């Protein structure tokens, strides 16, 4: 079963958004497992898990002794899972990274608070530093929820309609087309005629062209990747001809 181990100073933040809707239902049905470890239970010295930084500076830094004690309680196969530390210094995650993580047995995550964690935790345990965007949160808990939620919805038998996952933004380097529902006219704005035509070939064509236009306009980085992918597949077709 896919498992997320989350080390945090604020266990009460969980399950949070992971306890609702399809992801929450799947958690209750044991289709995936959430193991929250409260770092406060592992004081490095007296009642303290964090200390002021050596060399001076503001805030507190999580002691490596606290993390070591907490980590040692994981089972052997849990210890070998991929490790992620959330940090604004990290590499930004994308949908391909999420798919890789969802295809693995699970992940161990460390949520920072205050000034973060002692660098030796990250070096000794080989943590990947991951950011969820160029902005600063006050803790890694929301970042952990975002990454876990994105992974769990890709696991088999979690989202009822797998077609909805196949059409998601970023699949094949394109953003999703516009969506419409009832009523057909809202405050003078109509749903495009082709969407109401019932002609599914035409609807697919329209949606695909919309996806391309939106991607080209909003995300030139993705659009370049899409073009490169297309060129590669055309070259491959020519070679096998």
Tell me the window of 1-9, 13-21, 25-33, 84-92 that interacts with ligand SAH (CB under 6 A): 84-92
Cα 123 to Cα 46: distance, rounded to the nearest angstrom: 25
CB of 146 vs ligand SAH, minimal distance in Å? 9
Within positions 151 to 190, which residues make up the interface with ligand SAH, using CB under 6 A?
A: none
Secondary structure of 93-111 in HEC code, one letter for each residue: CCHHHHHHHHCCCEEEEEC
Closest to 135 (Cα-Cα) out of 94, 99, 87, 170: 87
Binds ligand SAH by CB under 6 A, chosen from 111, 121, 175, 195: 111
Binds ligand SAH by CB under 6 A, chosen from 88, 167, 169, 219: 88
Query: Is residue 148 part of the contact set for ligand SAH (CB under 6 A)?
Result: no
Query: Is residue 35 part of the contact set for ligand SAH (CB under 6 A)?
Result: no
Residue owning tokens 């699949």 = 171
Tell me the window of 10-18, 139-147, 181-189, 214-222 that interacts with ligand SAH (CB under 6 A): 139-147
**Cβ neighbours of residue 61 under 8 Å, at least 6 residues apart?**
50, 51, 52, 53, 114, 115, 116, 117, 118
CB of 221 vs ligand SAH, minimal distance in Å? 19
Query: Is residue 139 part of the contact set for ligand SAH (CB under 6 A)?
Result: yes
Q: Which residues are catalytic?
A: 88, 115, 153, 168
Strand-pairing partners, residue 83, are: 108
The answer to whether 63 touches 48, Cβ cutoff 8 Å, is yes
What does the longest C-alpha to C-alpha distance in the chain come to?
A: 72
Binds ligand SAH by CB under 6 A, chosen from 68, 115, 167, 168: 115
Cα 97 to Cα 100: distance, rounded to the nearest angstrom: 5
Tell me the window of 126-134, 161-169, 181-189, 219-227 that interacts with ligand SAH (CB under 6 A): 126-134
Tell me the window of 1-9, 45-53, 110-118, 185-193 that interacts with ligand SAH (CB under 6 A): 110-118
Strand-pairing partners, residue 4, are: 34, 107
Query: Is residue 133 part of the contact set for ligand SAH (CB under 6 A)?
Result: yes
The binding site for ligand SAH (CB under 6 A) comprises: 86-89, 111-113, 115-116, 131-133, 135-140, 143
């Amino acid at each position: 079963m896919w498992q997320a181990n989350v080390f945090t100073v604020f266990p009460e933040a969980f399950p949070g958004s992971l306890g609702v809707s399809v992801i929450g239902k799947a958690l209750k049905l044991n289709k995936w497992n959430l193991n929250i470890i409260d770092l406060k239970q592992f004081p490095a010295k007296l009642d303290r898990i964090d200390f002021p930084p050596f060399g001076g500076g503001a805030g507190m830094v999580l002691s490596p002794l606290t993390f070591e004690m907490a980590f040692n309680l994981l089972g052997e196969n849990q210890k070998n899972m991929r490790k992620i530390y959330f940090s604004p210094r990290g590499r930004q995650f994308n949908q391909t990274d999420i798919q890789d993580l969802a295809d693995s047995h699970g992940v161990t995550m460390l949520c920072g608070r205050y000034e973060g964690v002692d660098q030796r935790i990250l070096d000794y345990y080989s943590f990947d530093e991951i950011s969820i965007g160029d902005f600063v949160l006050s803790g890694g808990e929301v970042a952990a929820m975002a990454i876990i939620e994105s992974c769990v919805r890709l696991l088999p038998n979690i989202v009822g309609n797998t077609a909805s996952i196949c059409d998601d933004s970023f699949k094949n380097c394109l953003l999703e087309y516009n969506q419409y529902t009832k009523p057909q006219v809202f405050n003078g704005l109509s749903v495009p005629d082709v969407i109401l035509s019932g002609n599914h070939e035409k609807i697919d064509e329209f949606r695909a062209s919309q996806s391309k236009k939106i991607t080209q306009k909003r995300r030139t980085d993705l659009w370049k990747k899409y073009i490169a992918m297309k060129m590669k597949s055309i070259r491959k077709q020519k070679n096998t001809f």
